[in-house]
Amino acid sequence: MSSRVALVGAGMSVFGTRPETPRELFAEAFREAVASVDRGFDAKMVQEAWIGSLGMGGYQLGNLGPFAAEAAGLAGVPVRRVENACASSGYALRDAYLAIRSGACDVALVGGLEKMNDLSKAHQRYWLGVSGDTEWERMAGLTFPGTYALMAQRHMHEYGTTEEHLVAVAEKNHANGALNPKAQFQKSVTREKIRSSAYVCSPLRLFDCCSTTDGASALLLASEERARSLTDAPVWILGSGAASDRLAVYERPSMTTLTATVAAGREALRQARLGPERVQLAEVHDCFTIAEVLALEDLGLCPKGQGGPFSESGATRRDGRRPVNTSGGLKSKGHPLGATGAAQAYEAFKQLRAEAGSRQVKGAQNALTHNVGGSGASCVVHVFGR
Amino acid sequence: MSSRVALVGAGMSVFGTRPETPRELFAEAFREAVASVDRGFDAKMVQEAWIGSLGMGGYQLGNLGPFAAEAAGLAGVPVRRVENACASSGYALRDAYLAIRSGACDVALVGGLEKMNDLSKAHQRYWLGVSGDTEWERMAGLTFPGTYALMAQRHMHEYGTTEEHLVAVAEKNHANGALNPKAQFQKSVTREKIRSSAYVCSPLRLFDCCSTTDGASALLLASEERARSLTDAPVWILGSGAASDRLAVYERPSMTTLTATVAAGREALRQARLGPERVQLAEVHDCFTIAEVLALEDLGLCPKGQGGPFSESGATRRDGRRPVNTSGGLKSKGHPLGATGAAQAYEAFKQLRAEAGSRQVKGAQNALTHNVGGSGASCVVHVFGR
């Protein structure tokens, strides 16, 4: 058994509206991951693979595992799809990590893949909707923007959060995305433009919501021994925490706390022996701006109820004391559902190896990734360190 | 780290056309699994869960993990869906097994769930079809019966296999299913009825094909230490092997060998330190009768090309020297896609604990389960022992 597991390589496709086939998108991410390993890596070293995908795109809805493995030139390797709504590749990372720790393999691939733009808008709504509660919420007309709008309304009621706080989150994430050559939206957006955009579902405006994105991501994991032979700059997985919650929001005790985030975050930080106050960088699941506010609080990165003012204060900016979503987040980098979790780890990998280019945060020694499925029914958190 | 992992409980719903909701079906399987643990078990002991499902039923296509956990009263527990076409819960079992070996948890749930009968026939065809190659086979009209019919034709051409050999497989599996109170078809079928049934796709007739089934399955796994405290009759997992192959049949070197089965079987048997000749019981993936013939050969249970005569000889009957599919197999027990892999392990659990009632095989000390996804693009094999 290997006691430690490291990321030794990471890749992602450019996120956006991509005309390429899913096969090509995944191969693009995998090639970068392979090329990013410092020395002596051969794709044949991959012994097992876990592929995260919600399955959108009207293409390979079953058996996506072998489909992706084949696209990476890995036909033959044991592979499965891991599906946990938008937390799919975050859980794929967890399962690959556990498999290496079990001793079953010492080099593993984690992938994420989603092709959303091939579907009609109605089909997109359906596929997204089935990640929430069907019986009492979706069938009654509640969509994901609606769910998060309810959370935002309640947060405003309980804690005095304002729309301007949410504007600060959107502005910051777009400013970061502007520096990320893989992001779907590589441009800054002014506060005025954000606050004058149309309501999607009050209080959430267009710029409070993530987009429809095609994209793929790939991570190469290795046991400690293999990692040391492949690179001088392994990025260690210091902790992995996961939890679930009830699918239906109406059955939860609170609208302003995602209990799965609280539980997963605590476990990952416990394993990493890190208090939340010592987290230096975080990629959190900002499918909506209010989701970033909730994540900051539920992960303990700021006190409960203070996520709005904390964001407004600039603390989470790239030059703030606790940079959050330096990649641009789901908001600006894009959110190809099942590819997002591994793409968050890609950002941690780049930042901790000081390879993040113009969005590099100096000197970070650790990073946390937070990946949510549905409206909080699944959550997985990882902590990485140099 | 626990060096050994055991099944300590197993349950499955009655398979068939079930009017109940997916929630109710899964709860039915989980309740039996919990009740089957000998002593001191509480559902709260489950620390993590893996749920296999292809997603059919038009219900919870995303986030099925939390959905199933909630149905089992386990909201909060880390859970994900594992999808590998018809090998979904076989891979879920593998991932749970690796997680316990990693030391991350010591009691885990493996589930399987499929509700096929809620869908229109056209929708069923689509959902099944997307587990094969889409670009060059499905879009050209090749269905799963068509794929396996091609394999059967080629097997007949290369090895002289006859339709009567396939009739022997169907007759045997229906005779076994007649003794299984959980089976979809609990009745024997005469050879005359089988051989006079209509061709679905020549040479495969109606009775060569498995059916459309609703059902759920659940397994409780524990580390050695926990297993010993929970039961005096643990069923040990002695080996777990998995592999993939190209999705498209036209890209494979042979139509009469599933290379993923060969690789997965060898690995599982190697870990179990068992030659194939010493396997005493096997549940193999007989989605079509020809698939059982291929499995017998590819797992080494009989020589290559001899699967037909071996079946005709009676060797694989309940009273033969190597009983195969004592449960009735997918053919007669039914095949609720994602629930099948864990249901195969359920049969191994029952047989090795001498709890299989009128279909009990006396004195078996080991059993093998063989679960295939698509037309062989995924395969996972487990070996169990008392």
Q: What value does the mean pLDDT take over residues B256-269? A: 98
- In the structure, what pLDDT confidence band is assigned to residue A1 with cuts at 50, 70 and 90? very low
Q: What per-residue confidence (pLDDT) applies to A42?
A: 94
- In the structure, what pLDDT confidence band is assigned to residue B1 with cuts at 50, 70 and 90? very low
**Residues of chain B with pLDDT > 90: what percent?**
90
Report yes or no: A116 and A57 within 8 Å, Cβ to Cβ: yes
- In the structure, what pLDDT confidence band is assigned to residue A59 with cuts at 50, 70 and 90? low
Report yes or no: B119 and B56 within 8 Å, Cβ to Cβ: yes
- Predicted confidence (pLDDT) per residue in B284-298, tens digit: 999 999 999 999 999
Q: Residue A43, exposed/middle/buried by CB under 10 A (0-12, 13-18, 19+)?
A: middle
Which range has the top average pLDDT, A186-195, B2-11, B129-138?
A: A186-195
Alpha helices, DSSP H only, in B231-339? 259-272, 289-298, 307-312, 329-333
Q: What value does the mean pLDDT take over residues A112-128? A: 85
A242–B78: do the CB atoms touch at under 8 Å? yes
Q: How far off is chain B from A4, nearest CA to CA, in Å?
A: 11
Query: What average pLDDT does chain B have?
Result: 95
Q: Does position A328 have pLDDT exceeding 60, yes or no? A: yes
Q: What value does the mean pLDDT take over residues A164-184? A: 98
Q: How far off is chain B from A99, nearest CA to CA, in Å?
A: 5
Stronger pLDDT, A56 or A381, i.e. the higher one: A381
C-alpha to C-alpha distance for A22 and A177, rounded to whole angstroms: 23
A378–B104: do the CB atoms touch at under 8 Å? no
Q: What per-residue confidence (pLDDT) applies to B59?
A: 66
C-alpha to C-alpha distance for B267 and B273, rounded to whole angstroms: 10
Q: Within 13 Å of residue A135, how many CA atoms lie on the same side as its CB? A: 9
Q: Does position B58 have pLDDT exceeding 70, yes or no? A: no
Total-model pTM:
0.98
A65–B79: do the CB atoms touch at under 8 Å? no
- In the structure, what pLDDT confidence band is assigned to residue A124 with cuts at 50, 70 and 90? confident
* B137 vs A contacts (CB less than 8 Å): none
Q: Within 13 Å of residue B19, how many CA atoms lie on the same side as its CB? A: 0
b/e per residue B289-320 (b: at least 16 CB within 10 A): bbbbbbbbbbbbbbeebbbbbbbbeebbbbee
Query: What average pLDDT does chain A have?
Result: 95
ipTM: 0.97
Q: What value does the mean pLDDT take over residues A196-221? A: 97
Q: Does position B45 have pLDDT exceeding 80, yes or no? A: yes
* B150: enclosing H helix or E strand: helix B144-159
**Residues of chain B with pLDDT > 70: what percent?**
99
Strand ranges for A18-125 from DSSP E: 48-52, 79-83, 107-115
A244–B69: do the CB atoms touch at under 8 Å? yes
A75: nearest CA in chain B?
Answer: B245
C-alpha to C-alpha distance for B152 and A105, rounded to whole angstroms: 36
* B55 vs A contacts (CB less than 8 Å): 55, 61-62, 83
In 3D, which of B24, B102, B19 has the Cα closest to residue B68? B24
